[in-house]
Structure 1
Amino acid sequence: MANFPKVSVLIACFNNAEYVAGAIHSVLRQDYPFYEIVIIDDFSDDNSFKIIKEFESDKVKIFRNEKNFGTGYTKRRCIEESSGEIFCFLDSDDELASHALSSMVKCHLEDPECSLVFSNYYDCNSDLKIIKKNVRQNAGSSFSHLDTGKISHLVTCKRIFYDRTAGINPAFKLAQDHDLYYKMEEVGVVKYINDFLYFYRMHRRSASRASLDARLNSRLWHFRAIEAAYHRRGLDQSDLDLRFLVMIKDAMKKHSYHKLLARRVRGVLAWCLMK
């Protein structure tokens, strides 16, 4: 890897006209100059694409899907359209700390066998005012996201290791990040930076994701990622049913049991029957 490797910051955007400019500006303010931004608009029907196009330059590549394909397809295409030796995803409503890329590059250069580096992040309100500090954990040699679930923003990956995996599954509607983390830890070393490099914005649309339906749907896709990891690793699958129940219970923490029965039990059973 070069002394100053190019970093590809990947933004998959759908209907985020209100915040996407802030996400892009946070990359343009980086203290590390060797980067590109790859933005793919997933056929937004708001003003997102018009705003994004205003940033197009030699360092900012803009693409648009011919129809709405969803996050799995769009994130995979982001990687395919990029050329950096290191890449990371930035959600189109979030922002990076100004030293995020330089900190990540330093860690990657220190360990050539490192496939993935992750950090701490801030929970913020819609105005990006910090609400909570989310401290993750030291990775270590026995670390596995499959056991701890601690990998989170900001995550950067070395392309040379990503190319050893099957890549992001374009069929995944949610939990592409977990699926990617499992695959990356299977081919290299995971490292942790004890610093806050990512601002996660909570706003009207993100609040809707906290509904019972959204939480259950998210857990179901996450479980699919876990199940796929079990298959790849040849692990004993006898505890998969227990994992599934624990994940459903976690999704219900803020909701009563009768709401689950009323709103989602049919969907959960139908999904199980399709397995």
Structure 2
Amino acid sequence: MSEAQFEQFVLPNLSRGRRGPPPTLSLHKIFNDILKALYMGCQWMMLPIESNDKGRPEIHPTRIYRRMRRWQADGSIDRIFSGTVHQLHQDQLLDLSVLHGDGTTTAAKKGGDNLGYSGHKHLKGCKVVAFCDRDCNIIAPFVTAPGNRNESPLLRDALPGLTGMARAIDADLQGSTVSLDGVYDCRVNRKAIFNRGMTPNIPENPRGRQAPKRGRKQRFDPAIFEERFRTIERVFAWEDRFRRLLLRFERISDVHYALKTLAYTMINLRHYCRN
């Protein structure tokens, strides 16, 4: 990320120290070092640090990690992500007529908190549920859970974050279509979407019924549902470009989710930070 892009999208949302001597290394370089760890997937101690005039590393990797933890704890990383959504809405780059949601599971290799064994994926890890628009822009802060949790109840926790983000950017979701997989098909989820003025587009899941369900069939548009393979599934494919997120080696879940938030931030900034 260039210095001009950093000052426009990142710096206004970062917390800075008020006491002590000024830092010898700019926040722009520290933030780019965090992005290096996110893209390369290496350990913090193996980050390629540039040398100063004396031939020594200009900063120790521990200081980069501590700075990232400070920004994660005070909400700076969440504010950066929210700022990208607001910028996309101001520039009319969001298509909120259809919102696609889904969950993804990341395997954990070193243990840690907020983990569970997923019998469907045959791995131990954690999962998130995220929403994006029709142009692959991530809208809502994702909901996190252990890997053994069912994704269907997580939707009720994710919807308030979606509507809260819409209010923050002054966007109207009334009449929008929420397209989800069949795993989210239940009366409670459909009612939660209807109560927020949106329309669910979820294929009916028989769940091993012995007889067909009586009554009128639920509204379902197959054409909208097919978009999820070039929207939300593409977002998760782009997420795999960040090697730090392919496998979870962070024992602290908040650190892993902060890095995932940065990845979603960079996906949203692809309209402005093209190489």
TM-score in same-fold range (> 0.5): no
TM-score range, shorter chain: under 0.3
Higher strand share: 1
Name which structure has the greater RCO, CA cutoff 8 Å, separation 6+: 2
Larger C-alpha radius of gyration, 1 or 2? Answer: 2
TM-score for both structures, normalised by structure 1: 0.25
